[in-house]
Structure 1
């Protein structure tokens, strides 16, 4: 595939399904070689890789828990050895839980933050030297509307997403002089396959969205594609809100 991302190498974490899958497919369509990361579902990762390759794109699957520092180091070393380095990192991996604060234990709190926030730190720290050496790059982390509105039973998710936005702003300042741009995408409700631990989607949700619908995974992928591509070359340290007008900045 030829496109605006031709010659770029992209790593998308949590890319076996839903938003991560859509991002991986779109980046590959526009020419990037995509490393499709997953933690435990090898079949899902392999399916995304096969889908990209069937469309004429280039993709590699890599199983690694982004909250495991040695696993992240091995993944980055493998990407460097096989593909020469990394230009794009999309930190999409995250867990959903619905637990009331008064019933939440520390183990669950740490589990959520370890994947979404610690994982973003570990992957960015592992990827940044490669990006600097290659003359620049782009990091995008998937935040969310919950940290801006406040959502019951998801204080750990909200905290992790708030941390992601702070991390990206700090890295934008530190890595910007090296040509590495760092931003967040903060979706509102998205039409995805929800796992059992995520709980049911709240009723009446569409009433609060002026556009009258949830986002599609392709809506989110398009925003990420903009931020990592040449069109977003001057966007740095920002949070791009995609919620149909549910939350206005």
Structure 2
């Protein structure tokens, strides 16, 4: 018989969510905290946003701490993981959410433009996973959730760097699932599409070109909370037999 799930299935767990001061990352951090996890909220800059997310979690009865760290640098990624261990004594969940989604024409795209995107999405995820690996294994039920993007599967105009980075994250997810399966660490990717967020115009366009091409079958755009619910499931006891998978959350805007 299936045992009833605890009302707080992540009680006692510790999670890191990169890029979690706002939007989807913030919703994921808040959801994991609401389900009982102690959460490290991360941002590269804007400490006031990190502090606001930590304060929100605490005001609603959760446990959280903020950590400013640039995960594109080894020292930054190592410091982020160390923050969880030094503060909470363990690490069970790593959510690689940090991303930059600028648009740029191929004809004018510089190598610096390319590296800025791939550095956050791919290098950042790799460095965090490498630094977290031994702690996730020690958990006995570790979980990594990478946050991809619909255009990583569908393609999109003026996004060769973003599409490549997000598609690469799919490959990384599958490779890590193989590497970590024996240690009972699950690795999955959640691919959001057409989500209503507050866009920082320095890192993302106000109206991405691909939004004019794709239309959710459900007749609405999603919310950050729609993504957070799927991530929470993958991090909890109901997700322990799911690994190496790409889960699309886009209201039917893209059907793989």
TM-score (norm 1): 0.96
| Equivalent residue, structure 2, for 1:240 | 247
| Aligned positions, number | 248
- Residues 206 and 214 in structure 1, CA contact (< 8 A), matched pair in contact too: no
196, 206, 224: which one pairs with 1:200?
206
| Equivalent residue, structure 2, for 1:91 | 96
- Residues 89 and 140 in structure 1, CA contact (< 8 A), matched pair in contact too: yes
182, 187, 209: which one pairs with 2:216?
209
The answer to whether structure 1 residue 158 and structure 2 residue 157 are counterparts is no
The answer to whether structure 1 residue 218 and structure 2 residue 216 are counterparts is no
| Equivalent residue, structure 2, for 1:231 | 238
Quote the Cα distance in structure 2 between the aligned partners of 1:203 and 1:65: 29
Instruction: Report the secondary structure of 1:208's partner residue.
Output: coil
| Equivalent residue, structure 1, for 2:124 | 119
184 and 204 in structure 1: CA distance in 2 versus 1, 3 angstrom threshold:
closer
Segment drifting more, 35-44 vs 131-140: 131-140
Quote the Cα distance in structure 2 between the aligned partners of 1:55 and 1:78: 22
Measured on the aligned residues, the alpha-carbon RMSD in Å equals 1.4
Name segments (4+ residues, structure 1) moved above 2 Å.
202-208
- Residues 206 and 213 in structure 1, CA contact (< 8 A), matched pair in contact too: no
- Residues 206 and 212 in structure 1, CA contact (< 8 A), matched pair in contact too: no
122, 131, 137: which one pairs with 1:132?
137
TM-score (norm 2): 0.93
Instruction: Report the secondary structure of 2:232's partner residue.
Output: helix
Segment drifting more, 201-210 vs 68-77: 201-210
Gaps of 5+ in 2: 1-6
Gaps of 5+ in 1: none
Instruction: Report the secondary structure of 2:40's partner residue.
Output: strand
| Distance apart, 1:207 and its partner CA | 6.6
Quote the Cα distance in structure 2 between the aligned partners of 1:178 and 1:235: 14
Quote the Cα distance in structure 2 between the aligned partners of 1:204 and 1:70: 36
Instruction: Report the secondary structure of 1:85's partner residue.
Output: coil
